[in-house]
Amino acid sequence: MSQESNQIGKLDWISVGLYALFVLLGWMSIYSAVYNPEAPLWIFDEAFYTSNAGRQLIWIGTSLVLIMLIFALDFRFFESFAVFIYAAFMLALIAVPFLGVTINGSHSWFKLGGVTIQPAEFAKTATALLLAKYLNDPQVNLTKWMNQWRSALIIALPMLLIIGSNETGSALVFASFIILLYREGLPGEYPGLLIALIVLFVSSLLLSPLTIFISLLVLASLFVIILPIYQRRLPQTYVRMAGAIAIVMSLSTLVDWVVNHVLKEHQRNRIKVLLDPSFDTRGLGYQVTQSKIAIGSGGFWGKGYLGGTQTKFDFVPEQSTDFIFCTIGEEFGFVGVMSVIVLFLFFLWRLLYLADQQRSRFARAYGFGVVGILFFHFLVNIGMTIGLMPIMGIPLPFFSYGGSSLWSFTILLFIFLKLDAHRSDMLSR
């Protein structure tokens, strides 16, 4: 019993406080987004609970129940059952195309009574758990090719299943596990390569092949001139440079080919919108344009709570879910968005710090998994509202409207906070 009460005392109240703050701010923004100045609804109106704000209140309430449930469980449960949890969600992902229902064009939802659940949201947590469990084995060394391969398999399985149900955006979230793997010893070349590939991808879309080729030549010449090491064996250097340039050029050609032949029409358009903000502002670029208008019109101090005109009157589609950040931008201005970004970064920093405090590798790895997932959502969601990222169905953690989203992030976070509360009980290996 004494152990039970202790665990509350060891709970990281800073993280819990930030979580509560984000959920509250999110709910306020959702309330504002659905707020009708002609007929404001109050919490006691029955109709209130048919609005997004009312329903989100229900999701918040049930999230509290989930938190209590997590804390009622033994902390060892998550490590012990990681394989089962993972397996269960993989089965769910397989089953969803057959048993699921379609919502907003995405056939990835289960309907349980009046509640719809998207298993893809929870698969992230399951994957993080299994990955952490796998890395908990002291034999596993991520510099070894075999272990790298197995880790990749754990991540790739849910990704492929989710791509299968047409949720490419959600699948990309799994790329964030590279942070977990990097922390757990994956050689730095891997994330470096990933970043290099992204840079290559973007530049081959933005620049003409000739420009890329000339830039590469200039870059190579600079290397040779500045770094004397290359000048010692010039012939070999030339061969290597030529090879590298050839690879980069062919990759960039490949990117063009992929964009034009592999990607689907709507995905291609999202990329076009991203690269050219003035592209079809009434149609395909409508969402980004309206989102930027909403945020841009906020100015420094914003229009005041409930004072936004863009976000309130449905100019920005998906206002409560994926574009909730617009409401904050319009109503609280630059001060508001900067506060949210700073607080979120601080939150991530706190979780990173806690993760590194863990004695067990399981808890630590899981912690980095949590941070990676949260960061990826932060990056893509805010990025797309200001036109820096292509539009994907990625919610802002804790802020966005939606049961599946709020529940899954709550579970994701509080499993880690539960593990953290028990860190002194864990065996250090």
Q: Which is nearer to another protein, 323 or 407 (CB)?
A: 323
C-alpha to C-alpha distance for 28 and 7, rounded to whole angstroms: 31
Binding residue for another protein (CB under 8 A) from 26, 333, 369, 397? 333
C-alpha to C-alpha distance for 105 and 103, rounded to whole angstroms: 5
**Residues comprising the chain, all counted:** 429
Structure tokens at 103: 């919502």
Adjacent-strand bridge partners of 375? none
Q: Which stretch binds another protein (CB under 8 A): 102-110, 124-132, 331-339, 406-414?
A: 331-339
Write out the H or E segment, with its range, that includes residue 8: helix 2-10
**Cα–Cα distance list, 429 to 150, 353, 358, 371 (Å):** 22, 19, 11, 23
C-alpha to C-alpha distance for 55 and 412, rounded to whole angstroms: 21
- Is 414 near another protein (CB under 8 A)? no
Check if the beta carbon of residue 394 is closer than 8 Å to that of residue 169.
yes
Measured from the CB of residue 400, what is the shortest distance to another protein in angstroms? 17
Measured from the CB of residue 251, what is the shortest distance to another protein in angstroms? 23
Adjacent-strand bridge partners of 112? 115
Measured from the CB of residue 299, what is the shortest distance to another protein in angstroms? 6
- Is 89 near another protein (CB under 8 A)? no
Measured from the CB of residue 100, what is the shortest distance to another protein in angstroms? 30
Question: Which residue is listed with tokens 């009622």?
Answer: 72
- Is 383 near another protein (CB under 8 A)? yes
Q: Where are the beta strands (DSSP E) in 55-207?
A: 101-103, 106-112, 115-117
Show contacts with another protein in window 130-189 (CB under 8 A): 179, 182-185
Q: Which is nearer to another protein, 41 or 90 (CB)?
A: 41
- Is 315 near another protein (CB under 8 A)? yes
- Is 293 near another protein (CB under 8 A)? yes
DSSP state for residue 427 in the 8-state scheme: P
Measured from the CB of residue 241, what is the shortest distance to another protein in angstroms? 28
- Is 296 near another protein (CB under 8 A)? yes
Q: Which is nearer to another protein, 55 or 292 (CB)?
A: 292
Binding residue for another protein (CB under 8 A) from 96, 371, 419, 426? 371
Closest CA to 77 of 403, 407, 366: 366
- Is 55 near another protein (CB under 8 A)? no
Check if the beta carbon of residue 403 is closer than 8 Å to that of residue 59.
yes
- Is 345 near another protein (CB under 8 A)? yes
DSSP 13-29: HHHHHHHHHHHHHHHHH
Measured from the CB of residue 107, what is the shortest distance to another protein in angstroms? 27
Binding residue for another protein (CB under 8 A) from 269, 310, 321, 360? 310
Distant-in-sequence, close-in-space partners of 44: CB < 8 Å, separation ≥ 6: none
Measured from the CB of residue 424, what is the shortest distance to another protein in angstroms? 20
Binding residue for another protein (CB under 8 A) from 375, 398, 407, 414? 375
Check if the beta carbon of residue 166 is closer than 8 Å to that of residue 107.
yes
- Is 47 near another protein (CB under 8 A)? no
- Is 298 near another protein (CB under 8 A)? yes
Measured from the CB of residue 69, what is the shortest distance to another protein in angstroms? 30
Site size with another protein, rule: CB under 8 A: 49
Angle at 111 between CA 166 and CA 34, to 5 degrees: 85
Burial class (CB in 10 A: 0-12, 13-18, 19+), 162: buried
Please report, as ranges, the residues that interact with another protein according to CB under 8 A: 36-38, 179, 182-185, 290, 292-300, 309-310, 312-315, 329-330, 333-334, 337-338, 341-342, 344-345, 348-349, 352-353, 355-356, 368, 371, 375, 378-379, 382-383, 386, 388
